[in-house]
């Protein structure tokens, strides 16, 4: 039996004759579905971080532990261990990169290891500076105001979802905070600098909406026929304006745009380096950590968009008014006694 050679291999299932199952093809290289910023640093910037730390050491600006009165340590190796990231705005973030530095003392013949924190910042559409300063790292986590994970997805506590929904409405549709009203999704999307375009996004209709951040060819459908269409960046594609969940589908994408742009810019940046199109992420190829990243983004988008539609304070006011109206309407009724 011939099986297609590619990133996925179909193997016969020994327990179910006539059936097959998917496995990875170990001989087929495939770019990771999701790349972390720390991974990019480890693969591309170890030399630069090593040069920076060695230069600081040579000029006496690198704080070093006490090696002994007669020691003359030299730096043998510099490796990147991990990174902490703090969002500055939609397209930039502060970086605190932890490096392992290997010292060797030729006088005593001893090896020493010390961790350092190199701070800087990265901006996707303006100059970046990865090497603002360096200090000894003693294991403490930097104080981060808007903490991002390795893939630049924000950590948002469940208790803060209401605050994020409030800030979102305050920025794009403040009138919705004044009194209960329906979200004007078209004007909200326009205020964000995006546009809505209706396209059939899948054969079976399961894909309801997607956001195109950068102009690219996108697969859409005309009935059962797949066609390639050039979609401009800054477009929210939606499968139908008549669907009952139209508002929530668009609002879900708006939350991704507002709070997850850094994640998508990172994936676009990586694929521009390796000359690959940014894909529709395929969970089959994801590690557990990568799946957790996507899952976290979807939970945030679902939870915050729901709170935008029904903002808590407006809901409380509506319920209080409803209870007051019920009280006035039925004030003459005696309670039912059994």
**pLDDT at 309 (0 to 100):** 87
**pLDDT over 90 at 211, yes or no:** yes
For the segment 247-265, what is each residue's pLDDT rounded down to a tens digit? 999 999 999 999 999 999 9
**pLDDT over 80 at 40, yes or no:** yes
For the segment 108-163, what is each residue's pLDDT rounded down to a tens digit? 888 999 999 999 999 999 999 999 999 999 998 899 999 999 999 999 999 999 99
Percent of the chain with pLDDT over 70: 78
Q: Which residues pair with 100 in a beta bridge?
A: 79, 115
Mean pLDDT (whole number) for 39-61: 94
Angstrom distance (rounded) from CA 81 to CA 101: 10
Q: Which residues contact 82 (CB under 8 A, 6 or more apart)?
A: 38, 97, 98
**pLDDT over 50 at 295, yes or no:** yes
Could you write out the DSSP letters of every residue in 99-168?
EEEEEEETTTTEEEEEEEEEEEEEESSS--EEEEEEEE--SPPP--SSEE-TTSPBP--GGGHHHHHHHH
Is 63 within 8 Å of 136 (Cβ atoms)?
A: yes
Alpha helix locations (H) across the chain? 37-44, 46-58, 161-172, 175-178, 185-191, 246-274, 288-309, 312-329
**pLDDT at 134 (0 to 100):** 96
Mean pLDDT (whole number) for 266-291: 69
Angstrom distance (rounded) from CA 141 to CA 134: 15
| The two structure tokens encoding residue 178 | 């004044």
**pLDDT at 67 (0 to 100):** 74
pTM above 0.85, yes or no: no
Q: Regarding predicted confidence, which is higher, 127 or 204? A: 127
Q: How far is CA 36 from CA 129, 232, 290, 291, in A?
A: 19, 26, 9, 13
Angstrom distance (rounded) from CA 164 to CA 169: 9
């Amino acid at each position: 039996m011939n099986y297609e050679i590619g990133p996925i291999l179909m193997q016969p299932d020994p327990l179910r004759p006539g059936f097959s199952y998917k496995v990875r093809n170990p001989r087929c290289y495939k770019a990771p579905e999701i790349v972390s910023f720390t991974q990019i640093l480890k693969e591309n910037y170890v030399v630069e971080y090593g040069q920076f730390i060695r230069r600081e050491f040579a000029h006496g600006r690198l704080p070093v532990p006490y090696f002994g009165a007669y020691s003359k340590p030299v730096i043998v190796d510099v490796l990147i261990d991990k990174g902490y990231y703090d969002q500055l705005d939609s397209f930039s973030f502060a970086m605190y990169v932890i490096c392992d530095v290997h010292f060797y003392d030729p006088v005593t013949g001893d090896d020493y290891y010390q961790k350092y924190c190199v701070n800087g910042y990265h901006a996707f559409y303006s100059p970046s500076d990865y090497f603002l300063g360096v200090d000894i790292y003693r294991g403490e986590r930097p104080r981060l105001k808007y903490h991002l994970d390795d893939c630049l997805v924000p950590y948002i506590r469940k208790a803060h979802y209401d605050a994020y929904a409030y800030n979102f409405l305050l920025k794009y549709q403040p009138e919705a905070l004044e009194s209960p009203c329906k979200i004007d999704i078209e004007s909200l999307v326009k205020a964000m600098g995006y546009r809505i375009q209706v396209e059939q996004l899948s054969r079976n209709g399961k894909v309801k909406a997607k956001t195109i951040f950068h102009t690219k060819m996108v697969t859409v459908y005309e009935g059962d026929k797949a066609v390639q269409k050039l979609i401009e960046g800054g477009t929210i594609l939606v499968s139908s304006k008549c669907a009952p969940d139209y508002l929530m589908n668009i609002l879900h994408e708006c939350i991704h745009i507002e709070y997850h742009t850094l994640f998508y810019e990172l994936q676009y940046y990586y694929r521009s380096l390796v000359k690959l199109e940014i894909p529709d992420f395929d969970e089959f190829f994801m590690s557990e950590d990568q799946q957790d990243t996507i899952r976290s983004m979807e939970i945030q988008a679902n939870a915050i968009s729901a709170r935008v539609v029904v903002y808590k304070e407006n809901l409380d006011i509506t319920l209080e008014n409803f209870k007051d109206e019920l009280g006035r309407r039925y004030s003459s009724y005696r309670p039912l006694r059994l």
